Every structure is written in C-alpha cells, then in structure tokens.
Amino acid sequence: MGKLNVTLCGIPLDNPVIPASGTFGYGYEFAELYDINCLGTFSFKGTTREPRFGNPTPRIAECAAGLINAIGLQNPGVDKVISEELPKLKKVFHKPVMANVSGFSLDEYVEVCSRLDAEEQVGWLEVNISCPNVKNGGASFGMTPEGAASVTKAVKAVTKKPCIMKLTPNVTDIVSIAKACEAEGADGVSLINTMYGMRIDLKTKKPVIANRMGGYSGPATFPVALRMVFQVYEAVKIPIVGIGGVTTAEDVVEMMLAGASAVGVGAANCIDPWASKKIVDELPAVMEKYGIDNLESIIGGAH
C-alpha cells in the first residue's frame, strides 16, 4: 500500500482528506456514524465572537450539480465552542483539529483567533476572510489584497499556531490575494470558498432562499477550484488546502497534482455523511491504479 501521509504547515496528517468547515459540524455528530480518526483532520464550523442564529429560513436550495446555502455562520460563539464543543470533540477525535474563524472586524478576528490559538487540540487556524467587513460597507476582507493582508497581519501578531487564510473565489484575481496573505506571514491558504448563486421558485416567482443569494458548492465548482489552486500554486510557496466540488478519491489526486498539500471535502458531506470516509478508503486503490507510491510526492505534479 502506498504512503497516504502528508504534512500541512509542519503538522503531520495520516492522509490529506479534510472535511471542510460548515459541512462537518464540530465533528462529534459524525463520530456517531464512524470513527472520524480515519480522517487527516477536519475544519470545524465557522466560529465568531458572539453567538449567531444565522440567516432566516429557507437557507438551502438544491441544484442539479450541487447546492446553495445561506446559513449565515450559525454558531454558539467562541466561549461555548471552547467550554462545550471542544471537550465533546476531544472524547471522539484524538488528532489536532482545524479551527475555522470568522469575523466582521479586525478586532473580532484577533480576539477569536487569540482565544482558539490557546486551545491544545487546535492545530491550525483557518481564517475565513469571506465575511463582510462591517467598517468598510459590507465588502468582504478577502475581496482585495489589502483587506486580506490586513487580517493576515493582525491574526499572525496574536497567534503561534499555523494560520491558513481561506480565500473567496468571487474575485477577479485570486493570485494577488494569496500573495498578499503570504507576504504578511500566512502559513497557508485554503481555496476556494463558495461561489455566489441563487434559485427562483417558479410557483412563487420568488428566490428560493430567504437571503435571495447564497454560497454555491458541489461537483460543478470542481473545475473552477482546481484552476484556482493551480494558479495559486505557481505564485506562492506556502501550502494550499484545495477545496471545491471534491467527491471522489480521484478528485483528491487531481487537486494534489494541481498543487494542494491537503484536500477539503465540503458539500459531499451534506449529501452523504460517509463521503469523507469513503474517499479515504478509496485512496489506496486509486493510487495503485495510477502508479502513485507516495501522495506527498505528487503535490504540484501537473506543473
């Protein structure tokens, strides 16, 4: 059997498969179905300073090749994540976990990252810079190199653990944003977050989602995500977590050839709760099929 293990920002993983934030809760929910220690790690639900109920319902719309969601960062807030969610997770997951952090201001990012950085089980901080920047009229921090750089610089000043900046695809030039994060000390980048999408109900003639638009994810986004990972790999030296439309072990190999050191599985978990486990189980056979002895050796192999 080939070697599945990889390294992400200096931390070893048994394999590169990482359920993506927002699709795997805080882990223990899935631990009722299977031993989640078979995963490389996972990124838990986006955490903010204050508890958030999220957006009004309906929040999800189905599509032919994916789904649209507008959950609105529903979470119990960082205090309860630390006091309640992480202790429950520790009972079922015995590896470092990736903490996803969301914020609406620089101060919020700094506070939440600082708090989670102090938690023993947190291995990486995945900093979602696709949230609205309240002080600049609602535009996402990740929409400009300057905005992305400002968050990166701020969180790196208060953390010791690796910071992976999660980038939005809803930009003209994702490469310049990735380079700006690297220049301010980011330890890695994860891409892509969801794309903008919507559905309209033909009976009511109104948008299906109460928020009108939401984040589009699923298999149809895979070629876009792959292209962006490929481009960013050629521009930065820091590790990349490739996310977007991954549903099979073959997709994982393709993402790694494009330049990903690890691979996020998102919408697939919402459709099939065993999706990530199945991908891990299928990887050895896919490696054998394509003559791959060591997964880490193929990172960026398509360049």
Question: In this model, does residue 182 exceed pLDDT 80?
Answer: yes
Report pLDDT for 64: 87
Q: Is 181 a catalytic residue?
A: no
Q: What is the mean pLDDT of the chain?
A: 96
CA 47/CA 177 separation, integer angstroms: 23
Give every CB contact of residue 192 below 8 A, 6+ residues apart in sequence.
167, 168, 169, 174, 221, 224, 225, 228, 243, 244
Strand partners, 217: 67
| Residue 50 contacts residue 77 (beta carbons within 8 Å) | yes
Q: What percent of the chain has pLDDT over 70?
A: 98
Tell me the per-residue pLDDT of 74-119, one tens digit each, with 9 for 90 and over.
999 999 999 999 999 999 999 999 999 999 999 999 999 999 999 9
Q: How far is CA 37 from CA 29, 40, 92, 108, 264, in A?
A: 13, 8, 8, 31, 16
Which H helix or E strand runs over 267?
Answer: helix 267-271
User: Which domains, ranges and CATH numbers included, belong to the chain?
Assistant: 6-54+72-195+215-298 (3.20.20.70)
Annotate 148-202 with DSSP letters as a single string.
Answer: HHHHHHHHHTS--S-EEEEPPS-SS-HHHHHHHHHHTT-SEEEE--PEEE--EET
Q: Which of 130-144, 146-160, 166-180 has the lowest mean pLDDT?
A: 130-144
Report pLDDT for 131: 78
Tell me the per-residue pLDDT of 268-301, one tens digit each, with 9 for 90 and over.
999 999 999 999 999 999 999 999 999 999 999 9
Question: In this model, does residue 137 exceed pLDDT 70?
Answer: no
Residue 64 buriedness (CB in 10 A; 0-12 / 13-18 / 19+): exposed
- Single out the catalytic residue among 9, 63, 113, 131: 131
Confidence class for position 1, pLDDT limits 50, 70, 90: confident
Instruction: With CA atoms as reference, report the closest residue to 296 among 99, 40, 125.
Output: 40
Read off the DSSP letter of residue 100.
E
Instruction: With CA atoms as reference, report the closest residue to 166 among 72, 99, 89, 75.
Output: 99
Residue with tokens 């301010």: 184
Phi-psi group of 122: left, alpha or beta (phi > 0 → left; psi -120 to 50 → alpha; rest → beta)? beta
- pTM score of the predicted model: 0.97
Total Cβ atoms within 10 A of residue 287 = 21
Report pLDDT for 138: 63
Tell me the per-residue pLDDT of 241-273, one tens digit each, with 9 for 90 and over.
999 999 999 999 999 999 999 999 999 999 999
Average pLDDT over residues 7-11: 98
